[in-house]
Amino acid sequence: MEKTYLAVDLGAESGRAILGRLQDGKLSTEEVHRFPNQAETSSGRLRWNLPALMKEVHEGIRRAGERNGGRLDGIAVDSWGVDYGLLDENGELIENPVHYRDEGHAGEVDRFTLELSREELFSMTGVQLLDFNTLFQLTAQRRLAPETLERARRLLHIGDLVAYLLGARPVSELTIASTSQLLGTGDRTWNLELAARAGLPTGIFGELVEPATVTGELRPDAVLETGLAEACPIIAAASHDTAAAVASCPATEPGNWAYLSSGTWSLLGIETTAPVLSLEALASGFTNEAGACGSNRFLSIITGLWLVQECRRQWSEEGREADYEELARMAEEAPPARAFIDPDNPLFASPGDMPGRVEEACLASSQPVPGTRGEILRCIIESLARKYASVVRAASGFAPGSIERLHVIGGGSRNVLLNRLTARELGIPLVAGPVEATAKGNILLQAMATGEISNLGELRQVSAASTELVHFNPAD
Domain with residue 410: its CATH number is 3.30.420.40
Q: What one-letter code names the amino acid at 99? A: H
Please check whether residues 328 and 265 belong to one and the same domain. Answer: yes
At residue 126, does pLDDT exceed 90? yes
Provide the residue range defining the domain that includes 176.
4-241
Q: Find, among 197, 63, 60, 173, the residue nearest to 121 by Cα.
A: 197
Indicate whether 129 belongs to any domain. yes
Note the pLDDT tens digit of each residue in 402-427: 999 999 999 999 999 999 999 999 99
Q: How many domains does the chain have?
A: 2
- 453 contacts 428 by C-beta, under 8 angstroms: no
Average pLDDT over residues 261-270: 95
CB 84 within 8 A of CB 97: yes
pLDDT at residue 476 tops 80: no
- The answer to whether residue 470 sits within a structural domain is no
Do 310 and 424 belong together in one domain?
yes
Average pLDDT (214-233) is 97
Q: Are 297 and 377 in the same domain?
A: yes
Segment 242-270 mean pLDDT: 95
Q: Are 278 and 399 within one domain? A: yes
471 band by pLDDT with thresholds 50, 70 and 90: very high
Model confidence band, residue 38 (pLDDT cutoffs 50, 70, 90): confident
319 and 390 both lie in a single domain: yes
Active site annotation includes 323: no
Question: Nearest CA to 409 among 261, 222, 276?
Answer: 261
Residue 187 maps to a domain: yes
Whether pLDDT at 400 is above 90: no
Q: pLDDT tier at 6 (50, 70, 90 boundaries)?
A: very high
Beta bridge partners of 256: 403
**Which candidate in 241, 344, 353, 476 is catalytic?**
241
Same domain assignment for residues 87 and 205: yes
* Residue 441 within a domain: no
Q: Does residue 444 lie in a domain region? A: no
Q: Angle of helix 306-317 relative to helix 324-333, nearest 10 degrees?
A: 100
pLDDT at 158 over 90: yes
pLDDT in tens, 46-101: 999 999 999 999 999 999 999 999 999 999 999 999 999 999 999 999 999 999 99
- pLDDT at position 37, please? 94
Is 225 found in the same domain as 255? Answer: no
Give, as one character, the DSSP assignment of residue 251: -
Residue-wise DSSP of 227-241:
T-SS--EEEES-SBH
Q: Single out the residue in 208, 241, 274 at which a domain terminates.
A: 241
Q: What is the DSSP letter of 458?
A: H
Specify whether 171 is located in the same domain as 22. yes
Other Cβ atoms less than 10 A from the Cβ of 475: the count is 7
Domain assignment present for 91: yes
The pLDDT assigned to 1 comes to 75
Answer whether 0.85 is exceeded by the pTM. Answer: yes
